[in-house]
């Protein structure tokens, strides 16, 4: 049974089809990347899996169960998402504590006073940040909070939408290390959306290259290093990335 499987999924926004016939499977524990430029539809795929983009046809299954078009609590407990912009993904008037307790409150899980500090520690957040507001945190710290929030419900699958592209390089390294460690420790399955091939190379096992709403190639990440990509477009992306222009 695969953690996530998409079969011939087409996704539309307001009647405009932006993703055509996407199919791929992600095994439990695997880290899978969706690579492409903006407008390629890679983020839209994530939004369809979560239910934030409900206009899709085809089949999406999470851990063997077919996905509906809405967000329900059972789904929330198994699959969570980390957003790109750490400045926009945290409620500006809620403390770290409130942000992290909210998922527990929604699911009626007790023991927030124990779980919140534990999760903060796991994500490398100093306990003194617990009652701070987002504007009192740096970009990297905010992204750690966002990751901690996504893990509060102990999901199996984590969807990562460009989780480091808004961060400084040195902070990016810290967050990438954190994501890698959490995956190893908690046996998580990742789907990472990014335009940054080196990040894929560091964090993922397999990747799908998307262009204009279609998957043009699915390949193991090792193909990045040993020139194993076959499609022209994927090779072009690698070339650009290598020349330093990405």
Partner 1 sequence: MSDLLDVKKLRVTFPTASGPVDVVKDISFSLGRERLGIVGESGSGKTMTGRSILRLIRPPGKVTAERMDFEGTELLAISEPAMRKVRGARISMVMQDPKFSLNPVMTVGEQIGEALAVHEKLPRRRVKQRVLEMLEAVQIREPERVFGLYPHEVSGGMGQRVMIAMMLIPEPSILIADEPTSALDVSVQGEVLSIMNDLVTRKGMGLIFISHDLHLVSAFCDRILVMYRGEIVEECRADALHAATHPYTRGLLASVPRLGETRAELPVLDRSAWETA
Partner 2 sequence: MTTREWLLTESPSSRMQARLGRSYRVWRALIRNPLAVVGAIIILALVILALFAPFFATHSPYTGQLTQRLLPPSGDYLLGTDELGRDIWSRIVYGARITLVIVLLVGAIAAPLGLFLGAISGYFGGWTDRILMGITDVFLSMPKLILALAFVAALGPGIENAVIAIAITSWPAYARIARAETLTLRNSEFIAAVRLQGASALRVILRHIIPLCTSSVIIRVTLDMAGIILTAAGLGFLGLGAQPPLPEWGAMISRGRSFILDQWWVATMPGFAIVIVSLGFCFLGDGLRDVLDPKSGAKS
Question: Which residues sit at the interface with partner 1, rule CB under 8 A?
Answer: 37-39, 139, 168-174, 176-177, 180, 195, 197-199, 201-202, 222, 224-226, 237-238, 240-246
**Residue 139 touches which of partner 2, partner 1, none (CB < 5 to 8 A by kind)?**
partner 1
Q: Residue 232 Cβ, how far from partner 2 at the closest point, in Å?
A: 34
Q: Residue 198 Cβ, how far from partner 1 at the closest point, in Å?
A: 4
Q: Pick between residue 155 and residue 161 the one whose CB is nearest to partner 1.
A: 161
Q: Pick between residue 113 and residue 185 the one whose CB is nearest to partner 1.
A: 185
State the virtual CA torsion across 147, 153, 157, 161 in degrees, nearest 10: -30
Neighbours of 163 (CB within 10 A): 31
3-state SS, one letter per residue, for 137-164: CCHHHHHHHHHHHHHCCCCCEEEEECCC
Instruction: State how far the Cα of 216 lies from the Cα of 204, in Å rounded to an integer.
Output: 18
Q: Smallest Cα–Cα separation from 150: which of 200, 97, 239, 79? A: 79
Residue 195 contacts residue 165 (beta carbons within 8 Å): yes
Q: Residue 225 Cβ, how far from partner 1 at the closest point, in Å?
A: 3
Residue ranges in 152-231 assigned as alpha helix (H): 169-186, 197-203, 222-225
Residue ranges in contact with partner 2 by CB under 8 A: 50-52, 71-73, 75-77, 80-81, 83-85, 88-93, 95, 97, 102-103, 106-107, 128-129, 131-133, 135-136, 146, 149, 153
Q: Residue 241 Cβ, how far from partner 2 at the closest point, in Å?
A: 27
């Amino acid at each position: 049974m695969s953690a996530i499987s998409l079969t011939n999924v087409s996704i539309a926004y307001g009647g405009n089809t932006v993703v055509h016939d996407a199919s791929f499977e992600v095994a439990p524990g695997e880290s899978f990347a969706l690579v492409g430029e903006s407008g390629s539809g890679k983020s839209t795929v994530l939004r369809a899996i979560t239910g934030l983009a409900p206009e899709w046809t085809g089949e999406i299954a999470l851990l063997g169960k077919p996905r509906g078009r809405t967000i329900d609590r059972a789904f929330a407990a198994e699959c969570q998402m980390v957003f790109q912009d750490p400045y926009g993904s945290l409620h500006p008037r809620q403390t770290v504590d409130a942000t992290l307790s909210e998922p527990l409150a929604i699911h009626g899980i007790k023991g927030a006073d124990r779980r919140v500090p534990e999760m903060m520690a796991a994500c490398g957040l100093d306990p003194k940040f617990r009652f701070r507001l987002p504007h009192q945190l740096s970009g990297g710290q905010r992204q750690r909070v966002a990751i901690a929030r996504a893990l509060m419900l102990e999901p199996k699958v984590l969807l990562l939408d460009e989780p480091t592209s808004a961060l400084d390089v040195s902070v990016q390294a810290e967050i990438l290390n954190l994501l890698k460690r959490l995956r190893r420790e908690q046996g998580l399955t990742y789907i990472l959306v990014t335009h940054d091939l080196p990040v894929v190379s560091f964090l993922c096992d397999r990747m799908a290259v998307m262009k204009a709403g279609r998957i043009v190639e699915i390949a193991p990440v090792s193909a990045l290093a040993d020139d194993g990509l076959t499609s022209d477009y994927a090779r072009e992306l690698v070339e650009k990335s290598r020349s330093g222009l990405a």
